[in-house]
Amino acid sequence: MKFISTRGDAPALSFEEVVLAGLASDGGLYVPETLPTFSQAEIASWVGSSYQELAFNVIHPFIDGEIADDDLKGIIAKAYVTFRHDAIAPLVQTGHNEWVLELFQGPTLAFKDFALQFLGHLLDFILAKRNQKVVVMGATSGDTGSAAIEGCRRCENIDIFILHPYQRVSDVQRRQMTTVTADNVFNIALRGNFDDCQNMVKASFRDQSFLPDGRQLVAVNSINWARIMAQIVYYFYASLALGGPHREVSFSVPTGNFGDIFAAYLAKKMGLPIEQLVIATNSNDILHRCIANNDHSKQNLHQSLSPSMDIMVSSNFERLLFDLYDRKGAEIQRLMREFESGHMSLSDAALTDARALFSSFKLDDDDTLDLVAQMYARNGYLVDPHTAIGVAAARSERHSQETPMVCLATAHPAKFPEAVIKAAKKHTNAQLKQPSLPSHMHDLFSRTEEYRVLDDNIDEVHAYISASLVRD
């Protein structure tokens, strides 16, 4: 299978090449040239499969023989062995025909483990085959960094450097990264904010001459196709658990970068009977404004109680636009040039199609606290603030009570205790309790931390990286 750029001017790549590539050379994002599809009979034959078996079935056609079946099975087995629940992605009922899909059973308590546990083992396999070593470099404001580190810590062919803004991530999030003491894991606390971290990473990708011979940087943010691909699987898993493919299911997805909800859209295009897809945003609502008012414009960043969705621009939206504009790369180039001014408008046809595919919703912090408290009082179920936004969106935008509505729980509530504490103060009668960390993390606050504080100076960061790599 070939992968092509959304902007039409970069060379097509094979599966293995696309996993290593990151952004396309024309600035676009890679997507499959043709999407594999499954018949209803084929999907029906998967009823009762384990998560891992299903992952193999869904991922297999994208790989198209580049990796042998048994090797792919091995990669999948390793990826999900670290999850704490045998179902991998368990469903919990929280209302009439309303379900929460718990995607936080992985090592770092957020859904990003689904993609990054898989990606780490996939990369390591590809690199061993090519006798190559790479450097993973990424910036994080929290969840991505710890999930990437957990995904790569046991990989022999990867050194990973994660930059976080010094003293600006939560204690839980920092400790999840800095207490991993594998000798291929390097945490950099940069004196700056998240944007400074991200700019440093972008500049490093542009000019990689600071790396020793033969090494290249690899991106593990959601522009990496393999991450999106791994996320398609849990939509199939939830649907099959709730009677699919013989009946439709709907999904509500708390989203920032449009990665997770884009995977849902792909599942539908691949043949999974999905009735409704709800885009749930916090007050950083560019996606909601775009769907509701054709207002795709950059606004100032709001610091919300759901920080993993605090974005100004949703990078994966370009992958949807590519389809909405009939896969014409030149059209996407024109749109993205228009957007450099901070604003772009979708054509009538594209907007109509987008509205047929998605409903959208925005929830501010105050309403998020209400939902957390109300859900605990009515269902005895504690949700994290990201998940709360998805549940609120589902309840507000739902078309049909007969179709099961699945709300994605993207993080464990103990990962974002601040929201729960605030909700408890605001709603004293809800009797909210402080969530505790799962047992594998009970000693997180007594583990030794290891990280390097560096100035926002690219030469200093590059010198640190190349010096750290010399060891072998």
Ligand X SMILES: *Cc1c(COP(=O)(O)O)cnc(C)c1O
- Residue 354 interacts with ligand X (CB under 6 A)? no
| Binding string, residues 100-139; x marks residues near ligand X by CB under 6 A | ----------x-x---------------------------
Residue closer to ligand X (CB basis): 161 or 317: 317
**Rounded Cα gap, residues 85 and 76, in angstroms:** 16
* Closest to 140 in 3D by CA, of 202, 197, 200: 197
Residue tagged active-site, from 2, 73, 78, 112? 112
Region binding ligand X by CB under 6 A among candidate stretches 116-124, 171-179, 201-209, 255-263: 255-263
Q: Which of 6, 94, 204, 410 binds ligand X (CB under 6 A)?
A: 410
Residue closer to ligand X (CB basis): 102 or 331: 102
**Rounded Cα gap, residues 329 and 321, in angstroms:** 10
CB 386 to ligand X: min, Å: 4
SS (H, E, C) 68-110: CHHHHHHHHHHHHCCCCCCCCCCEEEEECCEEEEECCCCCCCE
- Residue 176 interacts with ligand X (CB under 6 A)? no
Region binding ligand X by CB under 6 A among candidate stretches 22-30, 78-86, 248-256, 278-286: 248-256
Residue closer to ligand X (CB basis): 125 or 265: 265
Contacts (Cβ under 8 Å, ≥6 apart) of 348:
none
- Residue 226 interacts with ligand X (CB under 6 A)? no
Q: Which of 98, 113, 124, 143 binds ligand X (CB under 6 A)?
A: 143
Pairing relation of β-strands 158-165 and 3-5?
unpaired
Peptide bond into 413 cis (omega under 30): no
- Residue 413 interacts with ligand X (CB under 6 A)? no
- Residue 411 interacts with ligand X (CB under 6 A)? yes
Region binding ligand X by CB under 6 A among candidate stretches 20-28, 192-200, 258-266, 346-354: 258-266
Residue closer to ligand X (CB basis): 110 or 277: 110
- Residue 385 interacts with ligand X (CB under 6 A)? no
Q: Which of 138, 259, 404, 413 binds ligand X (CB under 6 A)?
A: 259
Q: Which of 236, 258, 322, 361 binds ligand X (CB under 6 A)?
A: 258
Q: What is the DSSP letter of 334?
A: H
**Rounded Cα gap, residues 337 and 325, in angstroms:** 15
| Binding string, residues 183-222; x marks residues near ligand X by CB under 6 A | ---------------------------------------x
Q: Which residue is nearest to ligand X (CB)?
A: 259
**Rounded Cα gap, residues 263 and 214, in angstroms:** 33
Contacts (Cβ under 8 Å, ≥6 apart) of 197:
139, 140, 163, 164, 165, 190
Residue closer to ligand X (CB basis): 187 or 306: 306
Tokens of 342: 């901070």
CB 256 to ligand X: min, Å: 4
Q: Which of 5, 204, 221, 257 binds ligand X (CB under 6 A)?
A: 257
Region binding ligand X by CB under 6 A among candidate stretches 238-246, 252-260, 426-434, 450-458: 252-260
**Rounded Cα gap, residues 199 and 137, in angstroms:** 12
CB 148 to ligand X: min, Å: 12
Count of other CB atoms within 10 angstroms of residue 313: 18
**Rounded Cα gap, residues 332 and 291, in angstroms:** 18
Residue with tokens 């709001």: 302
Catalytic residue check, 112: yes
**Rounded Cα gap, residues 308 and 457, in angstroms:** 26
- Residue 250 interacts with ligand X (CB under 6 A)? no
| Region 300-329 residues binding ligand X, contact defined as CB under 6 A | 308-309
Q: Which of 113, 260, 365, 397 binds ligand X (CB under 6 A)?
A: 260
Region binding ligand X by CB under 6 A among candidate stretches 158-166, 235-243, 254-262, 344-352: 254-262
**Rounded Cα gap, residues 74 and 83, in angstroms:** 16
DSSP letters along 147-177, please?
HHHHHHTT-TTEEEEEEEETT-S-HHHHHHH
- Residue 29 interacts with ligand X (CB under 6 A)? no
| Buried/exposed 359-396: b ≥16 CB within 10 Å, e otherwise | bbbbbebeebbbbbbbbbeebebbbbbbbbbbbbbbbe
| Site residues (vs ligand X, CB under 6 A) | 110, 112, 143, 222, 254-260, 308-309, 386, 410-411
Active site residues: 112
